[in-house]
Structure 1
Amino acid sequence: MAKKKRGLGKGLSALIPDEPVEQEKEDGNKDSIINIDIALIEPNGGQPRKAFSNEALEELTRSIEKHGVIQPIIVRKVDDGYQLIAGERRWRASKEAGLKEIPCIVKDIEQNKSTEIALIENIQREDLNSIEEALAYNNLIKEYNLTQEKISEAVGKSRSYIANIMRLLNLSDEVIKLISKGKLTSGHGRTLLGVKNEKEQIELAKKIIEKNLSVRETEKLVKNMQKKNNKSNTKKRKKDPVLLELEENLRKRFGTKVKINSKKNKGKIEIEYYSNEDLERILEILA
């Protein structure tokens, strides 16, 4: 019991109170593990993944049948039983394995906080696709007022990673569906963000699937399309290679599109952002 369990990130651990809810047991140990009737536990609806891999679940079920549940699940007390906070796959697999009871740690947590923790726990543990992950981050920011910095601490990923993956939600609905279904990668999606016209974006997405194009090939395709669009404006002055290089360096620095418009000895720099959190991240870099 003294052995520390892995899996909860620094920020997630901070979100869960240290003290378990009082049990009708003589052991008042901190984070004491108790066996609870599996039928008394209900799932938490606030997690990003609604479907579970049958293959992964079957594998976990076989492991539980052989070795039992090694890591306890985390629950909270509700009126007629308990609600899951973390460990839904273990709970499901235990039911499949025919277990009557499952080891649990009971925490005294409010409903909103429980859902927030469930979201973060599942982002950490589940093999989410990039759209599910982006939606989960978006939910945490909008519904629970978490900052990208707080999420970053909880899931162990950089703020720029979170900002970039959330940008995928700016794609057209059809392209988002294709990424969700695994027909396009998040890399393809990030490249398609450079295509502002929704119709062209969808056409390109279909072309990527049809020709099985890599992300590199997609980047070339998008560049060629942008070149064709630029040719329609013959009066447009060719940009100085030095400015192009500066734009690229700034793009890498800020993790977003940067445009330098220069005219004679003056001009302006445009830095794109896609949310208030993204703006805050850029301002911190500038500071």
Structure 2
Amino acid sequence: MIRIDKVPINKIKKNPSLYPDDFDRGGWERLARSISQISILEMVILQKLDDGYLQLSGDKRIKASRKTGKTEIPAIVVDDAELTPDKIEMIKNLQPDDIDPLERAIILNSYIEEEGLTKRDASKKLGIARTTITLWLIILEYEKKYQQAIIDNFNNKEGAKLTLSHLDLAKSLDSTIGHKTATKFLDAIMKYNLTRKESIDMKKLIQKHPKLDIDEVAEMIINRKDLEDDLAKGNGLGEDFKKIMESFDTINEKIRVITEANIQSDNEKKQKLLKEILFTEQKLQQISVETFGKTLEKVKEELL
């Protein structure tokens, strides 16, 4: 009987005296590599014993699992160590659980260090894009809580949304502003469940204005998205409302053109633009009070 099972790591043995004389270690390892995501992530294959399991392949994955503190590991379990064609075919038809991002990074990093490779060398040897290798390894650069959040997302845990691409965005803040800002950025992503697009918008604002409060930026992005969604569902708002929205699109485009012209270097233009923004806010305040008898601050309290 051949099956996939979750096996207690402390029950796995690697005792030379337990292997049969004709044990084909190389054959089992080649088979394990052939069904794995990449060759160095060879699947764990074990033989069932009366008091545990005999390791036939997967040394690196077992070591990585122990390093991350896991007590169980997904493995292919067989009844004996004889490597027959029928057994090979059955194992190749199985769909073993994928390796989690942290274990994969640990194994890949160990391989690179043991072989004395650069990421470029590893890319060529493994047939994986260097950008992919860099992305896979990035999890090792961040604290345990972010690693666990990535693993929770990998395991489809409810509410867990952090991905390696989020860490990649944080890395750019890490290198340009600092690690503290990068971790605050990740905290905000986790707190507000930001999508990649929302995270990119937040990153751009933080890079441009590092002194901004990251929580306030995240809330602004979420509130804007929620309002956009609500307005998109609205019916019967009429042509007048549409014209108002079109006018704001025009204002946004003008602001984009002005900011791309490097206004930061021209204090007079910067002051003028700030006054224009403040004037627009005051006009909106007037519209809100005259139409609904409520200030914008009161509207925010009620709607956001």
TM-score calculated relative to the size of structure 1: 0.41
Higher relative contact order (Cα pairs below 8 Å, separated by 6+ residues): 1
Q: Tell me which protein shows more helix as a share of its residues.
A: 2
Greater Cα radius of gyration, structure 1 or 2:
2
What TM-score results when the alignment is normalised by the length of structure 2?
0.39
